Structure 1
Amino acid sequence: MLKTNTVGRKLYFSVLAVFLVFAVSFIVFQQTREKQYKISTLTLKLATYNELLVEDLALSSSNGILLSDTVNLVDSVRVAEAKLEDFVQEHESKDLRVTLIKPDGKVIYDNMGKDFRKFSNHAKRAEIAEALQYGMGTSVERQSSTLKHDYFYVASYFPKSQLVVRTALPYNDDLAKSLQADQHYIWFALVAVIILTLVLYRFTSRLGSNISKLRIFAYKADHNESLEVEDLASFPGDELGEIAERIIKMYKRVQTTRKEQDILKRQLTQNIAHELKTPVASIRGYLETILDNPHINEATKAQFLQRCFAQSERLTSLLHDISTLNRLDDGSDMIDFEAVDITRLVTDITRETALARQERKMTFDNRMPEHIVVKGNRSLIYSIFRNLTDNAIAYAGEGRKMTLEAKEQGNKWHFIFRDNGQGVSPEHLARLFERFYRVDKGRSRKMGGTGLGLAIVKNAVLLHGGTIRVSNLPEGGLKFEFTLKK
């Protein structure tokens, strides 16, 4: 049983979880950062008010306010109240709280507390202590112990004037909202999460579909089940889908090729058995006749023995051709290559086949140039030209002519071997190079052919990096054109 595919789902939730963690972290960071920025902006604004207030009070020294003299400052607070109230109305709303504090923590003015002289010492207030130590101090959302209300404080210490100026705004709903981060980008982040979720789901769904089909393919391939199912018919049009589809198509081609090879092997085995059966049966029949008839005359016995020898020669030729094809199937790694003089090789073949050609009144016209040398296996190259010659002698007909030509083409030699015989029917041309294929089976066996000669020719040419083709000549006869690398 195939398990339900979870790879796409796991990937989907994993990536989504990572993105959500990132999005939440970013939102929290942005919220905190923006709030701190707004607090810093408001702090700077109130600190600026503090500086402007001190400057205004300093300019009022001609009215009796001497900021350099703490005693005079205390005595002149009433004179300064009007100036402070004017400053508050000018720079901020009526909610702005202004407090003047001596370095020892004593409050000398507060615009919100009319009885500020009774305020407790402010030296330990967080913003005051920080201002005395660092020059400026803040306190966000701290409740005033005197006014019982939450404030946003900013205190500035001015050593030259020996004065701490503290401004504050009530920490009410309006101020809290103004300090909050902008919420629009949160909605933007949520929209982005939704879009990403949809895109990610579509991607992982396609990925999961591909993986699911590959899993079905792997399962069926492992159990030798048919792959011609609708589930494997098509894949999404992306890179992974294309790869998956090609893998399955390649597997199907391999399976088809393997089936074709199995069929070919069975046919080859049957053909070999059939080809071996005929001469073996003949040899056995002749020998049984001789053994069953010990008083047979010598002439008849000699005739039977000659026929046995002829059939054994046929067996030897068949086994040699099968061995040659096996060597070709093993590939070039199992075959030694050397410099082969084709001109001399063809001359030897011409001499070796002279008697057979003479019996059939055939001629051999060798038009090749001198000293044609290629790098290859001498035995296999010999088989190419010998089998073509033997094929023409056997099937071209009496009184015919064979012609061999060659010309140089780049790094190859192009050969043309033709005869002016009767040729073959067009439907047979495409199958002439098949193993054990015969145009006229009865005549081929009578001539002693194995049915492997032209198959050896084709495979030997291919092994030497060449190509070969066969055609009928208009005037009659066959033409073989092939190339061999130098």
Structure 2
Amino acid sequence: MKRNSVGIKLYVCVLAVFVVFAVSFMIFQQSREKHYKTDVLDTKLQDYNARMAESLAYAGAVSDKVLDEYVAKHHINGLRVTLTDTKGHVLYDNMRRKYGGMELHADRNEIKDALKYGKGMNISRMSSTMNHYYFYSATYFPKQNIIIRTALPYDNNLLKSLQSDSHYIWFAVIAMLVLVVVLYRFVNRLGTNINKLRIFAERAVNSESLEIEGLAAFPNDELGEIAERIIKIYKRLEHTKKEQDELKRQLTQNMAHELKTPVASILGYMETIAENPDMDADTRMQFVQRCKTQAERLTILLGDISVLNRLDEAPDMIEFKSVDVSSVVSDIESETALMLSDKGMMFRNLIPDGIIVRGNHSLIYSIFRNLTDNAIAYSGRDTVVTLSAEETDAKWIFTFSDNGCGVPTEHLPRIFERFYRVDKGRSRKMGGTGLGLAIVKNAVLLHGGTINAMQTPGGGLSFVFSIMKR
């Protein structure tokens, strides 16, 4: 435990609460036990008083002889017996025979309580007659109109008998020592975990290395497990952040490279035109047409990058509404009919009419258009593109396949990566941006679905993807 840590504060607070509880318990127990022993002794003397009153009633008179015989017969070492009337006049005292000279006892607390409540007690009071402290117990007997008071000297023997048992005090002390050790061990482990978390937090804030021996292991308890998982999650996030940074760096390099190619072509053609004012009209028009082609490619590339940025950074801002997928596919089929015809390809649209999903119309269009353009560009001449659909309770599952040349198996896991090309030279020649399939995957995921690419039995490439209905 270091500093004024939470563990030390917890340790002090819990220990203080226990000490207060233990002291309070000992005080209460002492008081309760003393009260109990006092009541037992008072009951014993009250019983003595009652039996003496019965003997006097049986004798029919209050006489020194009867009382002396009773006291002698029921001897208790040191016991003093005193009888008074209701006025406080002493009628008998076994310790002193000259009653006439004794002062009235009406002002004694035990006598007053006996007259008022039937019995009275005084734990420790100096006797003015005997010049000694006594424990008094007095009983009033109305039928005989007398008060019998018995008393025991408040000496070491009586004090010892009224003392509380000290065993529970030793028990409380031992329990306290055990608690101190156990609590210290617990708080020490707690402090160790908290200190490691503090070190972790300081290093995380300062971007320092977390690979230190102090953070290698935690005590085998719940807090240690939580702390260890927090650090593992943080390390995983840091690793993911590094991977994302590396991916962004690669994407930036790829984008710069992809943008540089059409821009360089446009600049080259424009410089040639500017430096050759006497260039014939046909050559100039050819160069202008090539500039237009590169500009269109640049526009498509920037559009694809914009779509991906929107999918990455602001998916919640994309508006969803009911989209007729069947109508979207029909429009794409019409738009690409000429391109399909030029390559001798056929588009087999097997999906039923009226497929309605909740999504973004532009992104749904991008999914099917990019898959179609990809098939036209790379599946080869005289091939067949097939689109089918299967309905489940929660989603539509689409299969987009062709019987073309396909993609080597080792490339399948990476074809959805941005700017990834199976044949880079051929892809650029065909005008591809390298972002089409990345847009397809992100759009499918945004619509609650999944997508996989696989070889088509018999040759070609198949994409199986799903779109949630709602």
TM-score range normalised by the length of the shorter chain? over 0.9
Q: Offset of 1:120 from its aligned partner?
A: 4.0
Q: Which moved more, 1:201-210 or 1:119-128?
A: 119-128
Show CA shifts across 1:204-263 (max 9, x none): 222212211111111111111112222222333333333323322222222222222221
CA deviations over 1:272-315 (Å, ceiling 9, x no partner): 11101000100110111111011111121111111111111110
Q: Does 1:462 align with 2:461?
A: no
Q: Is the 8 A contact 2:2 2:191 kept in 1?
A: no
Which one-letter code corresponds to 1:148 in the other structure?
A: N
From 206, 222, 231, the equivalent of 1:223 is 206
- Deviation >4 Å, runs of 4+: 114-118
| Aligned-residue offset at 1:147 | 3.0
Structure 1 CA distance for aligned equivalents of residues 112 and 2 of structure 2:
69
Give how far 1:116 is off. 5.1
Instruction: Tell me by how many angstroms 1:112 deviates.
Output: 2.9
Partner of 2:55 in structure 1? 56
SS of the residue 1:226 aligns to:
coil
Structure 2 residue 223 is the aligned partner of structure 1 residue 240: yes
Partner SS state of residue 397, structure 2: strand
Partner of 1:207 in structure 2? 190
2:64 alignment partner, one of 56, 59, 77: 77
Which residue does the alignment assign to 1:480? 463
1:412 match: 395
Displacement after TM superposition at 1:479 (Å): 0.8
Partner of 1:6: 5
Q: Distance in 2 between matches of 1:433 and 1:394?
A: 16
Question: Structure 2 counterpart of 1:443, which letter?
Answer: R
In 2: Cα distance, 1:116 partner to 1:477 partner: 133
Residue number in structure 2 paired with 1:309? 292
Post-superposition Cα deviations, 1:15-38, rounded to whole Å, max 9, x if no partner, equal 101110111011101101110111
Kept in 2: contact 1:420–1:476 (CA 8 A):
yes
Deviation at 1:478, TM superposition (A): 0.8
Normalization by structure 1: what TM-score? Answer: 0.91
In structure 2, stretches of 5+ residues that fail to align are none
CA distance in 2, matches of 1:122, 1:112: 15
Paired AA for residue 483 in structure 1: S
Measure, in 1, the Cα distance between the counterparts of 2:93 and 2:85. Answer: 12
Q: Give RMSD over aligned pairs.
A: 2.0
Residue 266 of structure 1, CA deviation: 1.4
In structure 2, how many angstroms separate the alpha carbons of the residues matched to 1:408 and 1:484? 10
- Alpha-carbon displacement from aligned partner over 1:362-386 (angstroms, at most 9, x marks no partner): 2211111222222211111111111
d(CA) in 2 for partners of 1:83 and 1:476?
Answer: 127
Task: Note if contact 1:85-1:111 (Cα within 8 Å) is conserved in structure 2.
Answer: no
Aligned to 1:195: 178
Q: Please give the alpha-carbon distance, in whole angstroms, between the structure 2 residues aligned to 1:79 and 1:456.
A: 121
CA contact (8 A) 2:59 2:66 kept: no
C-alpha contact 1:331 1:463 (8 A) present in aligned 2: no
Instruction: Supply the AA of the counterpart residue of 1:78.
Output: K
The separation in 1 between residues aligned to 2:382 and 2:262, in whole angstroms, is 30
1:41 matched residue in structure 2: 40
1:250 is aligned to: 233
In structure 1, the partner of 2:246 is 263
**Which has the higher mean CA deviation after the structures are superposed, 227-236 or 49-58?**
227-236
Equivalent pair of 1:418/1:477 in contact (CA under 8 Å): yes
In 1, Cα distance between equivalents of 2:299 and 2:113: 114
1:122-133 → structure 2 map (5 Å cutoff): 122-133=105-116
SS at match of 1:235: coil
Give the deviation of 1:114 after TM superposition: 4.7
8 Å contact from structure 1 (residues 423, 472) kept in 2:
yes
Report the Cα distance in structure 2 between the residues aligned to 1:5 and 1:150, rounded to whole angstroms: 55
Q: Letter of the aligned partner of 2:374 in structure 1?
A: N
**TM-score when normalising by structure 2:** 0.94
Aligned-partner SS, 2:386: strand
C-alpha distance in 1, partners of 2:201/2:252? 33
Kindly state the Cα deviation for residue 131 of structure 1 after the two structures are TM-superposed: 2.8
Give the letter aligned to residue 263 of structure 2: V
Q: What are structure 1's unaligned runs of at least 5 residues?
A: 66-72
1:299-378 map, 5 Å:
299-378=282-361
Distance 1:298 1:10, change over 3 A: same
Q: After alignment, is 349-358 or 113-122 more displaced?
A: 113-122
2-structure distance, mates of 1:207, 1:372: 60
Matched, 1:401 2:384: yes
Quick one: which amino acid aligns to residue 53 of structure 1?
M
* 1:3 positional shift: 6.9
Where does residue 134 of structure 2 map in the other structure?
151
Change in 2 beyond 3 A, CA 1:55/1:287: same
1:174 aligned to which of 135, 150, 157: 157
Cα offset, 1:45, TM superposition: 1.7
- Letter matched to residue 197 of structure 2: L
Residue deviations 1:321-349 (CA, integer Å, cap 9, x gap): 11111221234421122222222221221
Q: Structure 2 vs 1, CA of residues 105 and 451 (structure 1 numbering), >3 Å: closer, same or farther?
A: same
SS at match of 2:414: coil
Q: CA deviation at 1:188?
A: 2.2
Name the CA shift for 1:187/1:380 in 2 (closer, same or farther; >3 Å).
same
Does the Cα contact within 8 Å between 1:418 and 1:480 map onto a contact in 2? Answer: yes
Instruction: Output the CA distance in 2 between the equivalents of 1:125 and 1:406.
Output: 109
Question: Does 2:451 match 1:451?
Answer: no
CA distance in 1, matches of 2:133, 2:152: 9
Task: Report the equivalent of 1:70.
Answer: none
Alpha-carbon shift at residue 85 of structure 1 (Å): 2.3
Identity of counterpart residues, as a percentage?
Answer: 60
Q: How do residues 107-126 of structure 1 correspond to structure 2 at under 5 angstroms?
A: 107-115=90-98, 118-126=101-109
Paired residue for 1:68? none
2:124 to 136, 141, 154: 141
2:409 maps to 1:439:
no
CA displacement at 1:388 relative to structure 2 = 0.7
- Quote the offset at 1:165 in angstroms: 0.9
Code of the residue aligned with 1:391 in structure 2: it is N
